[in-house]
Structure 1
Amino acid sequence: MFEDRIDAALALYPSLHDRVTNDTLVVGIPNGGMVIAHVLSKALHTPLGFVLVKRIPHPVNKKYAVGAVNQSSVKLFAHHGISKKYLDTQCKIIERDLANSAEYYSLSIGNESFNNKDVIIVDDGIASGATALSAIEYIKKHDPKSITIAVPVGSPIGLNKIEGKVDHLISLLQPPEFRFVSTYYENFNTCSLSVIDNLIRHAKNTDHQKTIY
């Protein structure tokens, strides 16, 4: 159990600090993953990047992803009984959200190239694996040197989908009876763009005082 995303990021640090090279880039998946990415990039003294991916929620259980949309494509998983109309509608909504987010993140963080970089992708957790797989797919198109996925917690099903598709896979917790990512955090508040903006603008040191959240 992690206190919050900052606590989770600091818990990930020991598993990553020996992997840092001159070409390492820490990449967050917005929005929650950006908190973890920011803390790690400062602790590891690496540049900070982002990859825009958003999951397609199940029409009945919104916490379950039936797929994910990244900046250039859609990646779907088993979605028996879910209409094409629903999926198409969700994809259009998500594509608009990603376009708005791209403008914000490009201005606030900048567009770091993935080319020839040792990319560490971080998120606050992996459930179905849809979001992480879509992020991997997008980054691979930009010729990275290596890809590492690092998360505080992951479901065995989601992690199994990812294993073999990256150079390194790190998940501190792998609960056999996985429920939702939020289950493993005491504080799992929603991360809005304003929260991320506050984080990036005002976190000036590596102790990551929690008064800014």
Structure 2
Amino acid sequence: MTTFRDRRAAGFSLGEQLRQRDWHAPLVLGIARGGVVVAEAVAEVLDAPLDVVVARKIGAPGHPEFGLGAVTSSGETVYVEQSLRSLGLAPGELDETRSAEQAEAGRRESAYLPARQRVPREGRDVLLIDDGLATGVTACAAARTVRRENPRSLVFAVPVGAPDAVERMAEEVDDVVSLAQPPDFRAVGEWYAHFGQTTDDEVVALLSGSR
């Protein structure tokens, strides 16, 4: 059983794995919020710039914690079709929630980067980082948003992920790097000794401290 001390330690381990490859103008993108902590350590190892992408979960009516999909500030939306069918829902019935989450994604991006411009993604090898991959729906929405900006390549990298989610993610990006794919995966937090919630202030501080 692989257990990481915390997100930053996991990021250094992931960075060492990624450092074995040759990258062209690499850019490290953390999926907010927890993914930014991992990404900051990866960026430090690779001596690469750090930036952020926000994907917000679209919750089920009356049960917002049950994610049926995800959306980014650009409007890129992904739904878990099996979950929609099981609840007898159509995507159009979630338009109000989707719009609210898209607006929140935009608000957070503006708050995270108040005094700096986004790092260009076109023509770069972009490494999209999260702290774990459970269903993969938010990572998928983030990846599709980044793909539209014409990176040279797009790699998704994560310390730990559910095997089926890693397999699905491989269809969205050029490559997936996962340090651990435990067959008994249940929740991301089980694979960390310390897995407290990352705050907006922490994300801002990490981005402000990066080059």
TM-score, structure 2 as length reference: 0.87
2:78 pairs with one of 75, 78, 86: 75
The secondary structure found in structure 1 opposite 2:69 is strand
Q: Is the 8 A contact 2:11 2:39 kept in 1?
A: yes
Distance 2:45 2:95 in 1: 40
Which whole-Å deviations, capped at 9, do the CAs of 1:165-187 have from their partners, x for residues lacking one? 32221111101121111111111
| 1:203/1:142 CA distance change after superposition, 3 Å | closer
1:112 maps to which residue? Answer: 119
Give the gaps of 5 or more residues in structure 2: none
1:144 aligns with 2:151: yes
Q: Does 1:125 align with 2:132?
A: yes
Measured in 2, the distance between the counterparts of 1:160 and 1:106 equals 32
* Whole-angstrom distance in 2 between the partners of 1:77 and 1:185: 26
> Residue 194 of structure 1 aligns with which residue?
201
Distance 1:99 1:82 in 2: 29
Q: After TM superposition, give the deviation of residue 96 of structure 1 in Å.
A: 2.2
1:53 corresponds to which of 55, 61, 64: 55
Give structure 1 stretches of 5+ with no counterpart.
205-213
Mapped to 1, the partners of 2:174 and 2:94 lie a distance apart of: 31
4-13 vs 14-23, greater mean Cα deviation: 14-23
Structural RMSD (CA)? 2.2
Question: Residue 56 of structure 1 aligns to a residue in which SS?
Answer: strand
Bigger CA drift: 126-135 or 12-21?
A: 12-21
Find the counterpart in structure 2 of residue 43 from structure 1.
Answer: 45
- Once the two structures are TM-superposed, the CA of residue 108 in structure 1 deviates from its matched residue by 5.1
Cα distance in structure 2, aligned partners of 1:3 and 1:180: 16
User: Quick one: distance in 2 between partners of 1:147 and 1:29?
Assistant: 14
Amino acid at match of 1:12: L
Which of 8, 11, 21 is 2:10 aligned to? 8
Does the residue aligned with 2:132 lie in a helix, a strand or coil?
coil
The 2-side partners of 1:15 and 1:57 are apart by: 34
CA positional deviation for 1:200? 3.9
| Secondary structure, counterpart of 2:127 in structure 1 | strand
Which residue identity is paired with 1:45?
Answer: D
**Counterparts of 1:109 and 1:151, CA distance in 2:** 26
Distance 1:185 1:160 in 2: 22
Partner of 1:65: 67
Quick check: 1:68–1:74 contact (8 Å CA) kept in 2? Answer: yes
Question: Aligned letter for 1:148?
Answer: V
1:109 Cα deviation from its structure 2 partner: 5.2
Secondary structure class of the residue paired with 1:190: coil
CA contact (8 A) 1:2 1:186 kept: yes
Matched pairs, number: 203
Residues 116 and 155 of structure 1: is their aligned pair in 2 closer, same or farther, counting only changes over 3 Å? same
